[in-house]
Structure 1
Amino acid sequence: MVEVTVARLGLDSATNSYVVMLREKGGVRMLPIWIGKPEAESILIQMNQLKRERPLTHDLCKTLITGLGGSLRRVSITRVEKNTYFAEMQLDSAQGLVAIDARPSDSIAIALRLGAPIFAPEFLLTDVDVDHDDDATDLSNPTPQRQVLSAEQLQAYLENLRPEDFGKFNP
Protein backbone atom coordinates (compact mmCIF):
# COMPACT_ATOMS: atom_id res chain seq x y z
CA MET A 1 0.00 0.00 0.00
CA VAL A 2 1.16 3.50 -0.86
CA GLU A 3 0.11 6.62 1.03
CA VAL A 4 -1.82 9.06 -1.15
CA THR A 5 -3.15 12.57 -0.70
CA VAL A 6 -6.05 14.39 -2.28
CA ALA A 7 -4.38 16.34 -5.08
CA ARG A 8 -7.48 17.94 -6.55
CA LEU A 9 -11.15 17.60 -7.21
CA GLY A 10 -12.49 18.04 -10.71
CA LEU A 11 -15.35 17.57 -13.08
CA ASP A 12 -14.98 15.03 -15.87
CA SER A 13 -16.61 16.81 -18.81
CA ALA A 14 -16.99 13.53 -20.72
CA THR A 15 -19.23 11.99 -18.05
CA ASN A 16 -20.28 15.15 -16.18
CA SER A 17 -19.15 13.38 -13.01
CA TYR A 18 -16.89 14.55 -10.22
CA VAL A 19 -13.44 13.02 -9.92
CA VAL A 20 -11.22 13.04 -6.85
CA MET A 21 -7.57 12.76 -7.83
CA LEU A 22 -5.38 10.98 -5.31
CA ARG A 23 -1.60 11.41 -5.74
CA GLU A 24 1.03 9.19 -4.20
CA LYS A 25 2.70 11.05 -1.36
CA GLY A 26 6.07 12.33 -2.58
CA GLY A 27 5.40 11.02 -6.09
CA VAL A 28 3.62 11.72 -9.33
CA ARG A 29 1.39 8.69 -9.87
CA MET A 30 -2.33 9.32 -9.56
CA LEU A 31 -5.52 7.45 -8.81
CA PRO A 32 -8.69 9.05 -10.21
CA ILE A 33 -11.93 7.97 -8.54
CA TRP A 34 -15.30 9.10 -9.90
CA ILE A 35 -17.62 10.15 -7.08
CA GLY A 36 -21.08 11.60 -6.51
CA LYS A 37 -21.96 15.26 -6.15
CA PRO A 38 -22.73 15.19 -2.38
CA GLU A 39 -19.39 13.56 -1.61
CA ALA A 40 -17.59 15.99 -3.95
CA GLU A 41 -19.24 18.91 -2.15
CA SER A 42 -18.23 17.50 1.22
CA ILE A 43 -14.61 16.98 0.14
CA LEU A 44 -14.51 20.44 -1.45
CA ILE A 45 -15.85 22.05 1.71
CA GLN A 46 -13.17 20.38 3.83
CA MET A 47 -10.34 21.05 1.36
CA ASN A 48 -11.21 24.74 1.32
CA GLN A 49 -11.96 24.89 5.06
CA LEU A 50 -15.42 26.32 4.46
CA LYS A 51 -17.93 26.43 7.30
CA ARG A 52 -21.53 25.27 6.89
CA GLU A 53 -24.49 26.48 8.89
CA ARG A 54 -25.29 22.86 9.81
CA PRO A 55 -22.99 19.82 9.90
CA LEU A 56 -22.88 17.46 6.95
CA THR A 57 -23.11 13.69 7.30
CA HIS A 58 -19.30 13.39 7.22
CA ASP A 59 -19.08 15.94 10.04
CA LEU A 60 -21.52 13.78 11.98
CA CYS A 61 -19.34 10.71 11.36
CA LYS A 62 -16.32 12.60 12.70
CA THR A 63 -18.27 13.63 15.81
CA LEU A 64 -19.51 10.05 16.36
CA ILE A 65 -16.03 8.56 16.03
CA THR A 66 -14.39 11.05 18.40
CA GLY A 67 -17.39 11.27 20.73
CA LEU A 68 -17.27 7.52 21.30
CA GLY A 69 -13.58 7.72 22.13
CA GLY A 70 -12.37 6.33 18.82
CA SER A 71 -9.96 7.54 16.21
CA LEU A 72 -9.52 6.91 12.52
CA ARG A 73 -6.18 5.17 12.09
CA ARG A 74 -6.27 5.05 8.28
CA VAL A 75 -8.35 4.73 5.16
CA SER A 76 -7.40 2.15 2.55
CA ILE A 77 -8.70 1.98 -0.99
CA THR A 78 -8.75 -1.81 -1.13
CA ARG A 79 -9.73 -2.86 -4.64
CA VAL A 80 -11.71 -2.14 -7.79
CA GLU A 81 -14.28 -4.50 -9.28
CA LYS A 82 -16.29 -3.72 -12.42
CA ASN A 83 -15.25 -0.03 -12.25
CA THR A 84 -16.40 0.22 -8.62
CA TYR A 85 -13.82 1.12 -6.00
CA PHE A 86 -13.94 -0.27 -2.47
CA ALA A 87 -12.44 1.16 0.71
CA GLU A 88 -11.99 0.29 4.35
CA MET A 89 -11.80 2.59 7.35
CA GLN A 90 -9.68 1.31 10.24
CA LEU A 91 -10.94 2.68 13.54
CA ASP A 92 -9.25 2.42 16.91
CA SER A 93 -11.87 1.89 19.59
CA ALA A 94 -12.12 0.70 23.17
CA GLN A 95 -12.72 -2.81 21.75
CA GLY A 96 -9.58 -2.62 19.56
CA LEU A 97 -9.12 -2.13 15.84
CA VAL A 98 -12.34 -2.22 13.85
CA ALA A 99 -12.41 -2.43 10.03
CA ILE A 100 -15.41 -0.73 8.41
CA ASP A 101 -16.32 -1.32 4.76
CA ALA A 102 -17.07 2.05 3.13
CA ARG A 103 -17.16 3.86 -0.17
CA PRO A 104 -13.89 5.62 -1.02
CA SER A 105 -15.62 9.00 -1.39
CA ASP A 106 -17.11 8.83 2.11
CA SER A 107 -13.85 7.48 3.55
CA ILE A 108 -11.85 10.30 1.97
CA ALA A 109 -14.26 12.98 3.24
CA ILE A 110 -14.02 11.57 6.79
CA ALA A 111 -10.23 11.09 6.62
CA LEU A 112 -9.81 14.74 5.62
CA ARG A 113 -11.86 15.83 8.63
CA LEU A 114 -9.89 13.64 11.04
CA GLY A 115 -6.45 14.13 9.52
CA ALA A 116 -6.07 10.40 8.88
CA PRO A 117 -3.77 9.01 6.18
CA ILE A 118 -5.18 7.48 3.00
CA PHE A 119 -3.59 4.47 1.32
CA ALA A 120 -4.06 2.75 -2.04
CA PRO A 121 -2.60 -0.41 -3.57
CA GLU A 122 0.39 0.36 -5.77
CA PHE A 123 -1.17 -1.43 -8.76
CA LEU A 124 -4.05 1.10 -8.85
CA LEU A 125 -1.72 4.09 -9.20
CA THR A 126 -1.01 5.21 -12.72
CA ASP A 127 0.47 8.03 -14.72
CA VAL A 128 -2.64 10.01 -15.62
CA ASP A 129 -2.50 12.80 -18.18
CA VAL A 130 -3.85 15.87 -16.39
CA ASP A 131 -3.78 19.08 -18.42
CA HIS A 132 -3.24 22.21 -16.32
CA ASP A 133 -4.62 25.39 -17.84
CA ASP A 134 -2.91 28.60 -16.72
CA ASP A 135 -6.20 29.90 -15.37
CA ALA A 136 -7.35 26.59 -13.89
CA THR A 137 -8.47 26.65 -10.29
CA ASP A 138 -6.61 24.22 -8.05
CA LEU A 139 -9.23 23.32 -5.46
CA SER A 140 -6.67 21.70 -3.17
CA ASN A 141 -5.46 25.13 -2.02
CA PRO A 142 -7.54 26.45 0.86
CA THR A 143 -9.24 29.78 0.44
CA PRO A 144 -7.47 32.61 2.25
CA GLN A 145 -10.37 33.18 4.58
CA ARG A 146 -13.07 30.92 5.93
CA GLN A 147 -16.58 31.49 4.68
CA VAL A 148 -19.95 30.39 5.96
CA LEU A 149 -22.05 29.09 3.08
CA SER A 150 -25.68 28.11 3.06
CA ALA A 151 -26.68 25.08 1.00
CA GLU A 152 -28.03 27.42 -1.69
CA GLN A 153 -24.80 29.45 -1.80
CA LEU A 154 -22.69 26.30 -2.11
CA GLN A 155 -24.92 24.97 -4.86
CA ALA A 156 -24.70 28.29 -6.74
CA TYR A 157 -20.90 28.29 -6.33
CA LEU A 158 -20.60 24.75 -7.72
CA GLU A 159 -23.03 25.43 -10.58
CA ASN A 160 -21.03 28.46 -11.70
CA LEU A 161 -17.77 26.54 -11.94
CA ARG A 162 -16.74 25.70 -15.50
CA PRO A 163 -15.07 22.44 -16.50
CA GLU A 164 -11.99 24.51 -17.39
CA ASP A 165 -11.76 25.55 -13.72
CA PHE A 166 -10.87 21.96 -12.84
CA GLY A 167 -8.55 20.97 -15.65
CA LYS A 168 -9.04 18.09 -18.08
CA PHE A 169 -8.90 14.47 -17.04
CA ASN A 170 -7.92 11.79 -19.49
CA PRO A 171 -7.83 8.53 -17.54
Structure 2
Amino acid sequence: MEVEMKIRGLMMDPVTNMPIVILKDANGGQILPIWVGIYEANAIALEIEKVSTPRPMTHDLIKNVLLGLETGVRKVVVSELRDDTFYAVIWLERDGEIISIDSRPSDALALALRLDCPIYVEEQVLKTSKSTANVSDKVTNEELRRWLEGLNDEDFGRYKM
Protein backbone atom coordinates (compact mmCIF):
# COMPACT_ATOMS: atom_id res chain seq x y z
CA MET A 1 0.00 0.00 0.00
CA GLU A 2 1.23 3.49 -0.81
CA VAL A 3 1.14 6.44 1.59
CA GLU A 4 0.83 9.89 0.04
CA MET A 5 3.58 12.21 1.20
CA LYS A 6 4.54 15.84 0.72
CA ILE A 7 7.98 17.38 0.74
CA ARG A 8 8.08 19.12 4.10
CA GLY A 9 11.46 20.70 3.56
CA LEU A 10 15.10 20.39 2.75
CA MET A 11 17.79 20.69 5.38
CA MET A 12 21.34 19.74 6.26
CA ASP A 13 22.03 16.76 8.51
CA PRO A 14 23.79 18.26 11.55
CA VAL A 15 25.91 15.10 11.95
CA THR A 16 27.02 14.28 8.39
CA ASN A 17 26.50 17.73 6.85
CA MET A 18 24.65 16.07 3.96
CA PRO A 19 21.32 17.34 2.60
CA ILE A 20 18.12 15.62 3.73
CA VAL A 21 14.75 15.80 2.02
CA ILE A 22 12.02 15.45 4.63
CA LEU A 23 8.84 13.74 3.46
CA LYS A 24 5.77 13.88 5.68
CA ASP A 25 2.45 12.13 5.17
CA ALA A 26 -0.74 14.10 4.65
CA ASN A 27 -1.97 13.30 8.17
CA GLY A 28 1.35 14.43 9.63
CA GLY A 29 1.87 11.17 11.48
CA GLN A 30 4.86 9.77 9.61
CA ILE A 31 8.07 11.29 8.33
CA LEU A 32 10.74 9.89 6.08
CA PRO A 33 14.14 11.54 5.83
CA ILE A 34 15.99 10.77 2.61
CA TRP A 35 19.64 11.75 2.40
CA VAL A 36 20.55 13.09 -1.05
CA GLY A 37 23.61 14.47 -2.78
CA ILE A 38 24.52 18.14 -2.94
CA TYR A 39 23.61 18.54 -6.63
CA GLU A 40 20.31 16.73 -6.21
CA ALA A 41 19.47 18.89 -3.19
CA ASN A 42 20.27 21.97 -5.26
CA ALA A 43 17.83 20.83 -7.98
CA ILE A 44 15.11 20.37 -5.36
CA ALA A 45 15.92 23.68 -3.64
CA LEU A 46 15.75 25.59 -6.93
CA GLU A 47 12.21 24.35 -7.47
CA ILE A 48 11.13 24.90 -3.86
CA GLU A 49 12.33 28.50 -4.14
CA LYS A 50 10.92 28.84 -7.70
CA VAL A 51 14.30 30.07 -8.94
CA SER A 52 14.49 30.21 -12.71
CA THR A 53 17.81 29.53 -14.36
CA PRO A 54 19.00 31.08 -17.62
CA ARG A 55 19.04 27.65 -19.31
CA PRO A 56 17.06 24.51 -18.45
CA MET A 57 18.56 22.33 -15.75
CA THR A 58 18.36 18.54 -16.13
CA HIS A 59 14.97 18.11 -14.40
CA ASP A 60 13.56 21.07 -16.35
CA LEU A 61 14.78 19.40 -19.54
CA ILE A 62 13.08 16.13 -18.57
CA LYS A 63 9.87 18.05 -17.83
CA ASN A 64 10.05 19.78 -21.23
CA VAL A 65 10.68 16.48 -23.04
CA LEU A 66 7.73 14.82 -21.31
CA LEU A 67 5.44 17.75 -22.09
CA GLY A 68 6.67 17.81 -25.69
CA LEU A 69 5.89 14.11 -26.04
CA GLU A 70 2.47 14.68 -24.44
CA THR A 71 3.40 12.34 -21.62
CA GLY A 72 2.17 12.94 -18.09
CA VAL A 73 3.65 11.88 -14.79
CA ARG A 74 0.90 10.21 -12.79
CA LYS A 75 2.93 9.82 -9.62
CA VAL A 76 6.33 9.07 -8.16
CA VAL A 77 6.77 6.32 -5.60
CA VAL A 78 9.61 5.69 -3.19
CA SER A 79 9.26 1.99 -3.67
CA GLU A 80 12.05 0.21 -1.84
CA LEU A 81 14.74 0.48 0.81
CA ARG A 82 17.51 -2.03 0.24
CA ASP A 83 21.00 -1.97 1.82
CA ASP A 84 20.42 1.56 3.14
CA THR A 85 19.58 2.79 -0.36
CA PHE A 86 16.17 4.13 -1.37
CA TYR A 87 14.69 3.29 -4.78
CA ALA A 88 11.92 5.08 -6.62
CA VAL A 89 9.67 4.64 -9.64
CA ILE A 90 8.27 7.37 -11.87
CA TRP A 91 4.89 6.38 -13.32
CA LEU A 92 4.28 7.93 -16.75
CA GLU A 93 1.14 7.90 -18.88
CA ARG A 94 1.10 8.39 -22.64
CA ASP A 95 -1.86 7.64 -24.91
CA GLY A 96 -3.47 5.59 -22.13
CA GLU A 97 -0.36 3.44 -21.66
CA ILE A 98 1.28 3.32 -18.23
CA ILE A 99 5.07 3.18 -18.17
CA SER A 100 7.23 2.71 -15.06
CA ILE A 101 10.73 4.20 -14.95
CA ASP A 102 13.34 3.27 -12.33
CA SER A 103 14.74 6.37 -10.63
CA ARG A 104 16.74 7.67 -7.74
CA PRO A 105 14.34 9.21 -5.22
CA SER A 106 16.05 12.60 -5.48
CA ASP A 107 15.42 12.75 -9.25
CA ALA A 108 11.85 11.51 -8.87
CA LEU A 109 11.16 14.14 -6.19
CA ALA A 110 12.76 16.95 -8.23
CA LEU A 111 10.57 15.97 -11.19
CA ALA A 112 7.44 15.64 -9.03
CA LEU A 113 7.93 19.19 -7.78
CA ARG A 114 8.30 20.54 -11.31
CA LEU A 115 5.22 18.70 -12.61
CA ASP A 116 3.13 19.03 -9.44
CA CYS A 117 2.37 15.32 -9.30
CA PRO A 118 1.68 13.23 -6.19
CA ILE A 119 4.48 11.63 -4.19
CA TYR A 120 3.97 8.28 -2.50
CA VAL A 121 6.04 6.01 -0.29
CA GLU A 122 5.37 2.29 -0.05
CA GLU A 123 4.18 1.43 3.45
CA GLN A 124 6.85 -1.28 3.64
CA VAL A 125 9.55 1.36 3.08
CA LEU A 126 8.23 3.35 6.04
CA LYS A 127 8.21 0.21 8.20
CA THR A 128 11.66 -0.89 7.00
CA SER A 129 13.18 2.54 7.62
CA LYS A 130 11.82 2.45 11.18
CA SER A 131 13.05 -1.08 11.84
CA THR A 132 16.46 -0.21 10.36
CA ALA A 133 16.61 2.72 12.74
CA ASN A 134 15.80 0.36 15.61
CA VAL A 135 18.47 -2.20 14.70
CA SER A 136 21.56 -0.14 13.91
CA ASP A 137 22.81 2.90 15.82
CA LYS A 138 19.69 2.84 17.96
CA VAL A 139 20.49 5.87 20.09
CA THR A 140 21.68 8.04 17.22
CA ASN A 141 18.75 7.20 14.95
CA GLU A 142 16.15 7.55 17.70
CA GLU A 143 17.58 10.93 18.64
CA LEU A 144 17.62 11.98 14.99
CA ARG A 145 14.01 10.83 14.50
CA ARG A 146 12.85 12.74 17.61
CA TRP A 147 14.74 15.78 16.38
CA LEU A 148 13.17 15.52 12.90
CA GLU A 149 9.67 15.08 14.31
CA GLY A 150 10.11 18.15 16.52
CA LEU A 151 11.15 20.49 13.71
CA ASN A 152 9.15 23.64 13.13
CA ASP A 153 9.10 26.02 10.16
CA GLU A 154 12.01 28.13 11.41
CA ASP A 155 14.25 25.06 11.52
CA PHE A 156 13.94 24.61 7.75
CA GLY A 157 15.28 28.05 6.94
CA ARG A 158 14.53 29.01 3.35
CA TYR A 159 13.81 25.49 2.08
CA LYS A 160 10.38 24.59 3.41
CA MET A 161 7.13 23.77 1.68
Bin of the TM-score, shorter chain as denominator length: 0.7 to 0.9
Bigger Cα displacement from structure 2, 25-34 vs 73-82: 25-34
Which one-letter code corresponds to 1:36 in the other structure?
G
Q: CA deviation at 1:134?
A: 8.2
Larger strand fraction of residues: 1
In structure 2, relative to structure 1, the CA distance for the partners of 1:53 and 1:80 (3 Å cut) is: same
TM alignment of 1:73-112, pairs within 5 A: 73-94=74-95, 96-112=97-113
TM-score when normalising by structure 1: 0.76
Partner residue, 2:160: 140
Among the aligned pairs, what percent are the same residue? 33
In structure 2, relative to structure 1, the CA distance for the partners of 1:134 and 1:62 (3 Å cut) is: closer
Partner residue, 2:139: none
Q: CA deviation at 1:132?
A: 3.5
Q: CA deviation at 1:95?
A: 6.5
Q: Is residue 21 from structure 1 mapped to residue 22 from structure 2 by the alignment?
A: yes
Please list the CA deviations of residues 107-130 of structure 1 after superposition, one character each: whole Å capped at 9, or x if unmatched. Answer: 000000001100002243359322
Q: Contact between 1:88 and 1:101, CA under 8 Å: does it hold in 2?
A: yes
In structure 2, relative to structure 1, the CA distance for the partners of 1:15 and 1:96 (3 Å cut) is: same
Q: Distance in 1 between matches of 2:158 and 2:5?
A: 17
Partner residue, 2:114: 113
Please list the CA deviations of residues 67-118 of structure 1 after superposition, one character each: whole Å capped at 9, or x if unmatched. Answer: 1010000000001111100000000013610000000000000000001100
- CA-based RMSD: 1.9
Q: Is residue 61 from structure 1 mapped to residue 62 from structure 2 by the alignment?
A: yes
What residue ranges of structure 1 are gaps of 5+ in the alignment?
142-171
